[in-house]
Amino acid sequence: MTTRSFATELRDTIRSIRDEQGVTEIKCDNLIAYLKEIIDSPDEEIAPAQMEKYKAELQLWIKQNEAAQASGLEMFRTVILAGQNALKTAFLMNGGATVALLAFLGKLSDQHQDKIAIFSSSLIVFVFGVLAITLASGSTYLSQAFFAAGSKSWEQKTGFWLNILTIAFCLSSYGLFIWGAIRAYKAFTSFA
């Protein structure tokens, strides 16, 4: 039974009590006027078509939020994967340069021991590049640990600053590789 049909039935019942039994103590006229206002007021019941439209809009909203969350999660995975690739690349560049230079210095020690000192400065730069990228890998772990536990504001801030530190270590590793490559190039050109 809807509100309107209930009010109509209540009004008719009160009218019949008033008219047939003469009960006027409950101020029936005021009650009838009030019930008439309820009956004449706009229908508060939601029409079935409006309810279906509301359900469809709600489903659309849910799907959009699910898609946005899935997209955000996929972007996060992409960022993590790109960061891992950057760390691997920097490690391979500096580590490979270090190993190659050590192999060259081993061969050089057989024939030109006096020239080894020229290449040692570039070797130490590559070694510091490996150290920087190793520190970046460690700070990546710490950053993710603080972000994962980040229920408190200070944990989120610490995770953020460790992330910045990780990026700085990685960029410095790239810079050290460039600096070491330039020093190695100068060493090779002075070798002749």
**pLDDT tens-digit readout, 90-115:** 999 999 999 999 998 888 888 878 77
| Model confidence band, residue 7 (pLDDT cutoffs 50, 70, 90) | confident
What residues contact 19, with CB distance under 8 A and at least 6 apart?
Answer: none
Structure confidence at residue 117 (pLDDT): 83
DSSP 25: T
pLDDT higher at 24 or 84: 84
| Model confidence band, residue 165 (pLDDT cutoffs 50, 70, 90) | very high
| Model confidence band, residue 26 (pLDDT cutoffs 50, 70, 90) | low
The alpha-helical segments, DSSP class H, found in 22-47 are 28-40
Structure confidence at residue 145 (pLDDT): 86
Q: Which of 181, 191, 186, 188 is nearest to 123 (CA)?
A: 181
Q: Which of 73, 166, 136, 86 is nearest to 158 (CA)?
A: 166
CB atoms near residue 69 (< 10 Å): 10
* Euclidean distance between CA atoms 119 and 189, whole angstroms: 11
Structure confidence at residue 44 (pLDDT): 61
Using one digit for the tens of pLDDT, what is the confidence trace for 27-72? 667 677 767 777 777 666 677 888 899 899 999 999 999 999 999 8
CB 57 within 8 A of CB 46: no
| Model confidence band, residue 164 (pLDDT cutoffs 50, 70, 90) | very high
Q: pLDDT > 90: what percent of the chain?
A: 42
* Euclidean distance between CA atoms 151 and 63, whole angstroms: 27
Q: Which residue has the tokens 């060259």?
A: 104
C-alpha 142 chain-centroid distance: 17
| Model confidence band, residue 192 (pLDDT cutoffs 50, 70, 90) | low
Structure confidence at residue 94 (pLDDT): 93
DSSP 20: H
Token pair recorded at residue 101: 């230079």
Structure confidence at residue 43 (pLDDT): 62
* Euclidean distance between CA atoms 126 and 131, whole angstroms: 9
* Euclidean distance between CA atoms 6 and 26, whole angstroms: 19
Average pLDDT for the chain = 86
Average pLDDT over residues 71-96: 91
Average pLDDT over residues 76-96: 91
> 26 φ, ψ to 5°?
-90, 10
The three-class DSSP label of residue 27 is coil
Question: Residue 86 pLDDT more than 70?
Answer: yes
Radius of gyration of the chain (CA): 40
C-alpha 26 chain-centroid distance: 64
